[in-house]
């Protein structure tokens, strides 16, 4: 993983938005990921506030960059050897102006305040873009689920929920999964919430098992949605995915289903990775085998190459050195830097869409846009997951269950609408084809208008 290398000097921002960024730097020292996410949004929305100065009144920007509430708590649990372990839990409730706080939980050793705040801040805009009436939040822990037994995972999740439950609820805050939090963890977390509160409150968690309140397509939604977004970007330019070599990083939830949808649309995904390195398979990824290795057996990615003659494992390196036309970073933040972008541009990449949250460093985004490569930021491209979570909330509230086909149609329609919103806003604010500016401006206007309507609170 790379670190931020470009300057985050407030002077690089238009004067109108500088005070909000200065407040972020002052209040959140040593939090580079959060600074990076705020800087990108403030730089993007400058054309909106220049044209509509009323958005600078009532401290809209200063309020937007300050979470409504931040919860940090101790998570003690007992490992299989009878030793007490202590982790730190987080929930940052960033904005509820458009609906209950909504955003995933991440269990990964790299989790800290900066990571959770960057993700929570991004989530405000992503959720606004979905137009599903959901606010922004994020949470997690520095707990590492790798190599832990099911019993250890369960005890950790129960301890985590022993504190978090009091801050959740279907009308208050609705978590979901993220890195390290999949079906198993969501089951344990939901079970403990039910036990403590004596309420089977389906709408307080999304990503549940389909047998107990979960929605069809939620598992697939983020990966599918990312590929749908690429399909839209290409379609408005009379291009298609068919036959194109697709580079995917990661091999978790988002990556697996991005590969699945790309294959269904006749593209050729040829890579997958994890933190140990990547595999490249010129015959095209064998998805059943990849799921067997990563989802069922929870093994390292090299095992895929051990079992597949057409594939090879490249340790300790990133997939971006492989030639391809479509790049889908689906692992984690800051996994694609300026050098990676240059390599992709040299090899003829046509479109990049972020399945992960903020996987591209600012210099990589700049390089893609300068080279005329279509670039979809995560807050638009990967919003299919949270949009389908909102569909899960609707089904829970109405005590309904929609079919897979129906849910997928709705997801597809939402991705088309988000593409349209970002595309139109980019043109409207003088930067046609710039989906970063388009997504940020379209989302900002929705959030800011609601904040103005609801008063200074
Ligand atoms: P998973 O835990 O299912 O998979 C994460 C994948 O990324 C694994 O292959 C993991 O490898 C790899 N990875 C994680 N951290 C690192 C790292 N520091 N360096 C290299 N590889 C790493 O997570 P998801 O697929 O759910 O999430 C992936 C990304 O998508 C995240 O940025 C998440 O925030 C974003 N996202 C997810 C959504 C969802 O619905 N799940 C919704 C929207 C965004 P290893 O096992 O070796 O760690």
Q: Which residue out of 117, 124, 179 has the highest number of ligand 1 atoms within 8 Å of its CB and is therefore the one to mutate? A: 179
pLDDT of residue 8: 85
Between the CA of 349 and the centroid of ligand 1 the distance, in Å, is 23
Residue 125: which of 141, 106, 102, 105 has the closest Cα?
Answer: 102
pLDDT band at 375 (very low <50, low <70, confident <90, very high): very high
| Closest atom of ligand 1 to CA, residue 389 | 40
Between the CA of 330 and the centroid of ligand 1 the distance, in Å, is 6
Which of these is catalytic: 102, 126, 138, 261? Answer: 138
Q: What b/e sequence results for 385-408 when a residue is b if at least 16 CB atoms lie within 10 Å of its CB, and e otherwise?
A: bbbbbbbbbbbbeeeeebeeeebb
Interatomic CA distance for residues 340 and 331, integer angstroms: 15
For 47-75, what is each residue's pLDDT tens digit? 999 999 999 988 999 999 999 999 999 99
Q: Provide, rounded to the nearest whole percent, the portion of the chain with pLDDT above 70.
A: 98
Whether 100 and 54 have beta carbons less than 8 Å apart is answered as no
Interatomic CA distance for residues 248 and 258, integer angstroms: 8
Q: Which residue out of 252, 256, 377, 418 has the highest number of ligand 1 atoms within 8 Å of its CB and is therefore the one to mutate? A: 252
The helix (H) or strand (E) run that includes residue 305 is: helix 302-307
Interacting residues of 52 by C-beta distance below 8 A, sequence separation 6+:
none
Q: Which residue out of 331, 333, 380, 386 has the highest number of ligand 1 atoms within 8 Å of its CB and is therefore the one to mutate? A: 331
Interatomic CA distance for residues 98 and 127, integer angstroms: 9
pLDDT of residue 5: 47
Average pLDDT over residues 130-155: 97
Residues with CB under 6 A from ligand 1: 1, 110, 177-180, 182, 222, 250-255, 274-275, 330-332, 355-357, 382, 385
The helix (H) or strand (E) run that includes residue 106 is: strand 101-107
Residue 245, beta-bridge partner list: 268
| Closest atom of ligand 1 to CA, residue 331 | 7
Residue 239 is among the residues annotated as catalytic for this protein: no
Interatomic CA distance for residues 92 and 68, integer angstroms: 8
Q: Average pLDDT, whole number, for the chain?
A: 96
* Residue 176 pLDDT > 90: yes
3-class DSSP state for residue 346?
A: helix
Residue closest via CA to ligand 1's atom 34 equals 357
pLDDT band at 7 (very low <50, low <70, confident <90, very high): low
pLDDT of residue 3: 52
Between the CA of 325 and the centroid of ligand 1 the distance, in Å, is 22
| Closest atom of ligand 1 to CA, residue 207 | 40
């Amino acid at each position: 993983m790379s670190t931020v290398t470009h300057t985050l000097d407030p002077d690089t921002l238009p004067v109108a938005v500088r005070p909000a960024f200065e407040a972020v730097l002052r209040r959140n020292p040593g939090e580079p990921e959060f600074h990076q996410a705020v800087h990108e949004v403030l730089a993007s929305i400058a054309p909106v506030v220049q044209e509509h100065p009323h958005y600078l009144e009532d401290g809209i920007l200063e309020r937007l960059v300050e979470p409504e509430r931040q919860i940090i708590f101790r998570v003690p649990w007992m490992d299989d050897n009878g030793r007490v372990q202590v982790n730190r839990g987080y929930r940052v409730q960033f904005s509820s102006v458009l609906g209950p706080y909504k955003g995933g939980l991440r269990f990964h050793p790299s989790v800290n305040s900066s990571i959770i705040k960057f993700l929570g801040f991004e989530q405000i805009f992503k959720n606004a873009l979905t137009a599903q009436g959901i606010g922004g939040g994020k949470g997690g822990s520095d707990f590492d689920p790798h190599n832990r037994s099911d019993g250890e995972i369960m005890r950790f999740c129960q301890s985590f929920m022993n504190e978090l439950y009091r801050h959740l609820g279907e009308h208050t805050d609705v978590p979901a999964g993220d890195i390290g939090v999949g079906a198993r963890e969501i089951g344990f977390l939901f079970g403990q919430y039910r036990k403590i509160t004596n309420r089977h409150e389906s709408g307080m968690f999304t990503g549940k098992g389909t047998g107990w309140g979960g929605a069809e397509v939620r598992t697939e939604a983020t990966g599918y949605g990312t590929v749908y977004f690429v399909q839209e970007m290409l379609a408005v330019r009379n291009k298609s995915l068919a036959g194109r070599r697709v580079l995917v990083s990661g091999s978790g939830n988002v990556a697996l289903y991005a590969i699945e949808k790309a294959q269904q649309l006749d593209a050729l995904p040829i890579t997958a990775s994890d933190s140990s390195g990547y595999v490249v398979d010129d015959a095209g990824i064998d998805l059943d085998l990849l799921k067997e290795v990563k989802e069922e057996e929870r093994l390292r990615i090299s095992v895929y190459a051990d079992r597949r003659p057409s594939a090879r494992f490249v340790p300790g390196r990133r997939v971006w050195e492989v030639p391809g036309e479509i790049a889908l970073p689906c692992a984690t933040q800051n996994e694609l830097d300026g050098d990676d972008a240059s390599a992709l541009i040299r090899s003829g990449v046509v479109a990049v869409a972020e399945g992960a949250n903020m996987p591209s460093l600012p210099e990589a985004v700049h390089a893609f846009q300068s080279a005329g490569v279509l670039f979809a930021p995560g807050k638009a491209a990967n919003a299919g997951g949270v949009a389908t979570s909102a569909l899960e909330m609707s089904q829970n509230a109405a005590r309904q269950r929609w079919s897979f086909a129906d849910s997928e149609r709705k997801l597809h329609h939402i991705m088309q609408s988000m593409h349209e919103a970002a595309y139109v806003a980019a043109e409207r604010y003088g930067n046609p084809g710039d989906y970063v500016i388009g997504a940020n401006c379209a989302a900002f206007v929705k959030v800011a208008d609601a904040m103005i309507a609801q008063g200074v609170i």
